[in-house]
């Protein structure tokens, strides 16, 4: 089997998870080259790597480069992405700088892997909440055609980055100790609270945030239909790992809960957990550290023609970022075989 040289730009939460997943899945690589702002040694999952400074020549000889910046982190792919492509590297970018670029496929492999067919060397990972939603919506759209999506997301603090994870941990300790809670990552206390704003306000979509806009534009691009109507409310919740989403869908034709369960049970990367009479439904605790997304609470939505409601949960750092990127590379390797 051919072996590949792999680069990872950034060694935060997503970059660290990428290293773990490459090893777990026995990705056929004979080198993992980690790049960051400064040269140093880092230990990841018991393995020590010599991190090199990110500069154009750092990409020489690589087959794949994963840009692993946490959502909202700017700069690395703007500075080095297309430069790496010019050096013969296939770039898979977790950031949002090029997602809506016409040159760049936006891919969830289980949903629209065929979009990779004529890629130009640069591929984008969708937003974490979009990926998790698409795992449920993609198979249903293929079967019945989606007209409209209304989603409310409940997003873990790990989506903000390592500093937010530490902040929630510290606030928990401070609360138990009866101390004043400190905050820095968020404008308000996140412990025992929810924050109905993720990202800055989007000027071209009055009242909506950048995170909410991503669901609209990314869903349309991934599903291949610019006519789909999307309205999203994104909420940060005091959970460490695992985004959850309540989604109401309007289809082109009627879809019963039974049909939806059958479609989703057959979908790659999805598990149906839908027995509320026994308190069985998707939970962020149950997806943390797992590859699959869970879907449940599947029921009719009588407020819309051909309506259906459901609840989905997935690990935002894993399937919502690191795993999806590596699956893109695996898909490309399989295409070449």
Residues annotated as catalytic are 128, 243
Closest CA to 131 of 334, 31, 270, 228: 270
Work out the burial of residue 310: count CB atoms within 10 Å of its CB; fewer than 13 is exposed, 13-18 middle, 19 or more buried. Answer: buried
The phi and psi torsions of 101 (rounded to 5 degrees) equal -70, 130
**Rounded distance, CA 20 to CA 34, Å?**
13
Helix/strand/coil (H/E/C) assignment for every residue in 174-228: HHHHCCCCCCCCCCCCCCCCCECCCCCECCCCCCCEHHHHHHHHHHHHHHCCCCC
**At which residue do the structure tokens 């700069």 appear?**
75
User: Any idea what DSSP says for residue 72?
Assistant: T
Residues 297 and 309 sit within 8 Å (Cβ to Cβ): yes
**Rounded distance, CA 311 to CA 152, Å?**
10
**Rounded distance, CA 114 to CA 222, Å?**
11
- Sign, CA dihedral 233-211-70-264, equals positive
Cα distances (Å, whole numbers) of residue 271 to 129, 293, 311: 17, 6, 12
Residues 293 and 271 sit within 8 Å (Cβ to Cβ): yes
Work out the burial of residue 10: count CB atoms within 10 Å of its CB; fewer than 13 is exposed, 13-18 middle, 19 or more buried. Answer: buried
**Rounded distance, CA 136 to CA 128, Å?**
13
The arrangement of strands across the sheet holding 293-300 comes to 229-236, 146-155, 243-251, 307-314, 293-300, 270-272
């Amino acid at each position: 089997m051919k072996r590949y040289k792999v680069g990872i730009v950034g060694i935060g939460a997503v970059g660290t998870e990428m290293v773990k997943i490459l090893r777990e899945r026995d990705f056929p690589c004979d080198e993992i080259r980690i790049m960051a702002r400064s040269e140093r040694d880092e230990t990841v999952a018991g393995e020590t790597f010599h991190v090199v400074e990110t500069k154009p020549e750092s990409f020489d000889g690589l087959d794949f480069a994963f840009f692993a910046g946490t959502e909202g982190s700017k700069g690395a792919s703007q500075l080095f992405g297309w430069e790496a492509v010019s050096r013969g590297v296939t770039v898979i970018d977790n950031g949002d700088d090029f997602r809506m670029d016409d040159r760049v496929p936006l891919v969830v492999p289980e949903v629209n892997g065929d979009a990779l067919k004529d890629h130009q060397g640069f591929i984008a990972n969708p937003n974490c909440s979009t990926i998790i939603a698409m795992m449920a919506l993609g198979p249903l759209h293929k079967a019945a055609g989606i007209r409209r999506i209304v989603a409310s997301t409940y997003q873990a603090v790990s989506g903000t980055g390592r500093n937010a994870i530490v902040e929630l941990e510290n606030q928990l300790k401070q609360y138990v100790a009866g101390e004043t809670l400190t905050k820095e990552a968020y404008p308000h206390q996140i412990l025992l609270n929810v924050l109905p704003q993720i990202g800055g306000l989007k000027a071209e979509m009055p009242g909506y945030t950048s995170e909410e806009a991503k669901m609209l534009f990314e869903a349309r691009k991934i599903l291949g239909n610019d006519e789909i109507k999307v309205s999203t409310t994104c909420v940060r919740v005091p959970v460490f790992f695992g985004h959850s989403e309540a989604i109401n869908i309007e289809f082109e034709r009627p879809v019963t809960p039974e049909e939806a369960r059958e479609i989703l049970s057959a979908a790659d990367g999805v598990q149906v957990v839908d027995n509320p009479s026994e308190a069985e439904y998707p939970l962020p605790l149950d997806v943390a550290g797992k590859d699959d997304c869970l879907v449940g609470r599947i029921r009719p939505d009588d407020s819309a023609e051909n309506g259906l409601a459901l609840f989905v949960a997935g690990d935002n750092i894993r399937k919502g970022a690191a795993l999806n990127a590596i699956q893109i590379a695996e898909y490309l390797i399989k295409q070449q075989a």
